[in-house]
């Protein structure tokens, strides 16, 4: 211990420092894990040693993803908007695989419309999927994490919660709500060794981005001109950040919103 009272090390025993990024023996649940960023995060968690359960509404997509991702990945069909089914899902996972001590709330939906075109149903549906769905699943997982001695919860936010983006008012509201959930739950659950954080992805090379930028080089150039690293991100950039946040290496990180955006949120 230094004279200032600050520990000289991270608290990880020297004999275990080589494994500080390992998720060996951990059970993870990734919503929307069969496609896109969810697929990439699942791949990275499994590579770090975790057993990963992926959820979604499309059984065939989940089954194909699990087959590609390997023996440590298990499909579990689930609709996150069915709030009453959240505790049943956690119970099934705990019975079959052990207590899920990693939860990544990734599943969501998106509507791109002007403010005038956004209907009340659009707004409610997006908030129900993102905010209510993530809260219901987190609430259901917390008792299992407490019994296991701790856990890590991650919510996948967005650049739309950090800067003003047009045509996504409901989505922006939902992702901004995540930041309040992160801070409040991190403060409450910290004494139970449950950490709660968010990742805010920037512009990531996915089919959705390709579609959005197709035939619009001006928009692509605008994004890259304000991104200090000068490139779009890859899904694995998000996946490895998630793996890090769930690992012992991030044991003192909670209540944080981490932009993984090449610096776009601070670029000019």
Q: How many CB atoms lie within 10 A of CB 74?
A: 19
Q: Where are the domains of the chain?
A: 23-259
Specify whether domain 23-259 bears CATH 3.40.718.10.
Answer: no
- pTM of the prediction? 0.92
Among the listed residues 39, 171, 178, 244, the single catalytic one is: 171
Q: How many CB atoms lie within 10 A of CB 142?
A: 20
Strands (E), the chain: 27-31, 51-55, 73-75, 102-105, 151-156, 194-201, 257-260
Instruction: Give the separation between CA 141 and CA 146, rounded to whole angstroms.
Output: 9
Residue 9 pLDDT exceeds 90: no
Q: Residues 174-204: pLDDT tens digits? A: 999 999 999 999 999 999 999 999 999 999 9
Residue 171 appears among annotated catalytic residues: yes
Q: Residues 115-144: pLDDT tens digits? A: 999 999 999 999 999 999 999 999 999 999
Q: 7: pLDDT confidence band, cut at 50, 70 and 90?
A: very low
Q: Residues 21-42: pLDDT tens digits? A: 999 999 999 999 999 999 999 9
Q: How far is CA 211 from the centre of its chain?
A: 22
Q: Residues 68-111: pLDDT tens digits? A: 999 999 999 999 999 999 999 999 999 999 999 999 999 988 88
């Amino acid at each position: 211990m230094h004279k200032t009272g600050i520990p000289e090390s991270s608290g990880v025993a020297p004999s275990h420092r080589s494994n500080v990024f390992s998720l060996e023996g951990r059970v993870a649940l990734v919503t929307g894990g069969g496609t896109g960023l969810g697929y990439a995060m699942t791949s990275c968690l499994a590579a770090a040693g975790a057993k990963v359960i992926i959820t979604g509404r499309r059984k065939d997509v989940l089954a194909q993803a699990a087959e590609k991702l390997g023996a440590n990945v298990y499909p579990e069909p689930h609709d996150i908007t069915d709030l009453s089914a959240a505790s049943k899902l956690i119970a099934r996972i705990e019975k079959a695989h052990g207590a899920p001590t990693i939860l990544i709330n990734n599943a969501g939906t998106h509507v791109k419309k002007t403010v005038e075109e956004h209907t009340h149903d659009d707004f409610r549906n997006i908030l129900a999927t993102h905010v209510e769905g993530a809260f219901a699943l987190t609430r259901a997982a917390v008792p299992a994490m407490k019994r296991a001695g701790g856990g890590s919860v991650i919510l996948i936010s967005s650049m739309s919660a950090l800067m003003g983006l047009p045509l996504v008012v409901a989505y922006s509201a939902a992702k901004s709500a995540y930041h309040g959930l992160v801070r409040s739950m991190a403060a409450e659950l910290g004494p139970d060794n449950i950490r709660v954080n968010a990742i805010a992805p920037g512009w990531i090379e996915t089919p959705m981005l390709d579609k959005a930028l197709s035939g619009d080089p001006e928009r692509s150039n605008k994004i890259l001109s304000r991104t200090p690293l000068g490139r779009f991100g890859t899904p694995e950039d998000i996946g490895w950040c998630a793996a890090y946040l769930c690992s012992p290496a991030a044991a003192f990180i909670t209540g944080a919103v981490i932009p993984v955006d090449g610096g776009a949120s601070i670029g000019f």
